Structure 1
Amino acid sequence: MNKLPGFGLIERAKALAPLIAQEADEIERTRRLTPPVVAALIENGLYRALLPQSIGGAEAPPEIFMQMLEEVAKADASTAWCLGQCSVCAMTAAYLDQDVAREIFGAPDGILAWGAIAHEVHVVPGGFRITARWDFASGSRQANWLGAHVQVVEADGTKRLKQNGTPEIRTIVFPATSATMYDVWDVIGLSGTGTDSYSVENLFIPEKFTALRDDFTALREKGPLYGITTYTMFGLGFAAISLGVARATLDAAIELARGKASVGLKAMRENNAVQGLIGRTEGNLRAARAYLYATATEAWRDLNHTGKLTEDHRTALRLASTWTIHQSSQVVDAAYHMAGATAVFRANKFERRFRDMHAIGQQIQARDTHYEDVGKVILTAAVLPRGPTT
């Protein structure tokens, strides 16, 4: 029997959870994933979840990728965040010439990280040249390749435009040794991600080490996975991470409630208010998870059938990802407050998960303007976008 793409990734993530949890304090202290964790992620092929099978990747369906991240996030959010970031970056291999993709990702430790869209790259003979600095490169401390998304400026100084008149955004990839790194990640949550800044000075980028960002007409790989944009996949991955953090925090609160009693008060497990809060919060978390996975499953099924991700599905995935992150944040808040004074002690991990969850809620995949985008689609669509039917 042929194994499904990504077979074993979830099981391997679960098996690594004790090691990751054991290393979590050191990850937090040093603001980077520890060598044992990075080595274990590489050895078990987790960084290769979304890499094409043609170059040794798993090319896993979104649901497998999401569950893998969820399991890792239960142990440590920073580890899951780096893993999710670098896994999605690896989808760039589907756009590159295969020899270039193999040079970057052929070795088991071939890891790519990048920051936000910014700056311009200038056309020169054979490729491009750039001097620039970028921020928010999660996972860059484990990466041996870095990338960036930039506008293209022609030799005559004009901006290169796509057929629809918008600026062409091209992804450039270069060895991490070509960049200067800046240790700037001094933050309250997701401390271990090492989301640093980096710059290059007068760097030449050969044409073949670039790709049109999320331009499906430029795809070399034709598998259905690469019919999903990296932006959408980031949203699904980070929403799954938020579910893992919420699950771990609520489970910790439930375990605490089973045994904690305060002087002069009922034991928590006998307190009607606590019982009701746990029931409602559990229902909210299960609903958020079911909604996210049902939406992703239906989009994936239709993508496999038609070969195209519809605008309806893109809107649905954006809404589900954003709402799930926000709902997970509410679950973490409820569990944190339920734990009372116990939650403020670092040894109990409530406060770290609280900080990590609120850091997740501050990044671009959770911004409130996504609701405006979805609302605009709903109000202008000839047919109302539908929710998942599975």
Structure 2
Amino acid sequence: MSALAEAARLAPIIAARAADTESQRRLPADLAAMIAEAGLFRMLVPKAYGGGEVTPSEMFAALETLGAADAATGWCAMIAGTTALVSAWLPQDHAAEVFGDPAAITGGVFAPMGKAVVDGDDYIVSGRWSWASGSANCQWLLGGALIFEDGQLRMLPNGAPDHRMMIMRSEDVELIDTWDAMGMRGTGSGDMAASNVRVPRSRTVSFMADTPRAPGSLYAFAPFALLAIGIAAVASGNALAAIADFQALATAKKAAGSSRTLAERGTVQADFAQASTNLAAARALVLAQLAAAERQLAMGEALDIPHRARLRAAATHLVHTAADVTSRIYTLAGGTAVYASHPLGRRFRDAHVATQHVMTAPPTWELTGRVLLGLPTDDGML
């Protein structure tokens, strides 16, 4: 069964548990196990290790479907899936160790908030990382760390600090419950901390300094573009579901003192049409950029920096458009949406947390704008 089919199969179950997931402030363990069994945390793992090795477009469709069922659950699948991308960069023995168990779930934080000190063939890792989404269900956790050797911060040839993702066993990492957030409450995105954890140098990955060991066009795709596209997919699914929620509400609800339903009011019709069209246009841009990138890679051509910038800009545009659309739909729904029992309130809150991820936050416009204007740019994060 395809990743999209599996996501569609689980969507009703996930949607029925959405309020429970939000109240627990984490993805329930039994639900995480179901998603793992369906292979939806391993969509980007090479087939050689039992993964899906799906196309970016297939990943987008599956995550969008999960995001429509519940944005927090979709977010956990996105984080687990994109961290599992390291499987294609690892030596075979480590890849088999980390990803050999089909039920294993990975997560973590790319940002280099940790410190890794070279000690022979190992790193000694310490640090504290925020936004560790889905970490409670993980067997392996990744933490970005700056590399120190002989007491000095190691630098890359381009003059940037050297940092790598340290792949640690969950039992070596402390999870700290800091996650009392406005939205995406069900992601369990608390902090994680490590203290003097020994990690083999060969069980670390840098998407900027290393090259993938696994063949295939998926691993020639820009890793950070995949992350941004994954965020956009979840945000898009959340907004599509908000539109569907409102359609059901608008055909039944009548404003106080009115004999007409919301759907029969001209101002509602106009606002709804504009919101739906804005979302459809932003989705179409992402899908077009994805299709173009996949065609280019299929011909054996690498994605150049301008193409990566266009992918990142399209993803950012979709995330923010989805938040705007969800806000508009929330307003159209009136007082009904303010109750915790109505899903539009949760979708509104989740949409405005998705916009804060560093891969699609407003500063992304400056990064992509420099590239598109042909200015000198640090393109390491593209």
Common topology (TM > 0.5): yes
TM-score for the superposition, normalised by structure 1: 0.93
Give the match for residue 310 of structure 1.
304
Aligned pair partner of 2:224 in 221, 226, 231? 231
Q: 3-state SS of the aligned residue for 1:321?
A: helix
Q: TM-score, normalising length from structure 2? A: 0.94
Aligned partner letter, 1:249: A
Could you tell me which residue of structure 2 aligns to residue 222 of structure 1? 215
CA distance in 2, matches of 1:213, 1:150: 13
- Structure 1 residue aligned with 2:233: 240
Percent identical residues: 33
Q: How big is each residue's C-alpha offset from its partner over 1:281-315, in whole Å with a ceiling of 9 and x where there is no partner?
A: 11111111111111111112112213411112111
In structure 2, what is the Cα distance between the partners aligned to 1:57 and 1:271?
49
The 8 Å contact of residues 309 and 372 in structure 2, kept in 1 or not, is answered as: no
Report how far residue 272 of structure 1 moved.
0.8
Cα distance, 1:139 vs. partner? 1.3
Partner of 2:93: 99
Aligned-residue offset at 1:381: 6.0
Could you list the runs of 5+ residues in structure 2 that have no partner in the other structure?
A: 377-382
Q: After the TM superposition, which residues 38-77 of structure 1 pair with which residues of structure 2 at under 5 Å, given as runs?
A: 38-77=32-71
1:222 is displaced (CA, Å) by 2.1
Instruction: Choose the corresponding residue for 2:22, options 20, 28, 53.
Output: 28
Q: Does 1:119 align with 2:114?
A: yes
Cα shift at 1:218: 3.0
* Match of residue 179 from structure 1: 173
1:328 corresponding residue in structure 2: 322
The answer to whether structure 1 residue 140 and structure 2 residue 123 are counterparts is: no
| Per-residue Cα deviation, 1:30-78 (whole angstroms, up to 9, x for no partner) | 1111233112101111111000111111111111001101101111111
- 1:387 alignment counterpart: none
Q: 8 Å contact 1:214–1:230 — kept in the other structure?
A: no
- Residue 378 of structure 1: how far off its partner (Å): 2.5
CA-to-aligned-CA distance 1:94-152 (integer Å, 9 cap, x gap)? 11111111111110122111123223211111211122221111111110101111121
3-state DSSP class of the match of 2:135? coil
Select the residue among 276, 279, 302 that pairs with 1:285: 279
TM-superposed deviation, 1:182: 0.5
The answer to whether the aligner puts 1:273 opposite 2:259 as a matched pair is no
> What is aligned with 2:257?
264
Q: Which amino acid aligns with 1:9?
A: A
Q: Which residue matches 2:379?
A: none
Residue identity opposite 1:251 in structure 2 = A
User: CA-atom RMSD, angstroms?
Assistant: 1.5
SS class of match (1:50): coil
Task: Report whether the alignment pairs 1:153 with 2:148.
Answer: yes
Q: Tell me by how many angstroms 1:251 deviates.
A: 1.0
**1:129 corresponding residue in structure 2:** 124
Task: Quickly say closer, same or farther: Cα 1:203–1:381, change in 2 above 3 A.
Answer: closer
Give structure 1 stretches of 5+ with no counterpart.
1-6, 383-390
1:259-290 deviation per Cα after TM superposition (whole angstroms, max 9, x unaligned):
11123323222211111111111111111111
Q: Which digits, 9 at most, give the CA deviation of each residue in 1:357-383, with x for residues without a partner?
A: 11111221231111112222222269x
Q: Tell me, what secondary structure is at the counterpart of 2:51?
A: coil
In structure 2, give the amino acid aligned to 1:136: W
How far did 1:200 drift?
1.5
Distance verdict in 2 for CA 1:124–1:110, change over 3 Å: same
- 1:212 CA displacement: 2.5
1:249 aligned partner: 242
Cα 1:312–1:379 change in 2 (3 A) is: closer
Q: Does 1:9 align with 2:6?
A: no
Paired residues, what number? 374
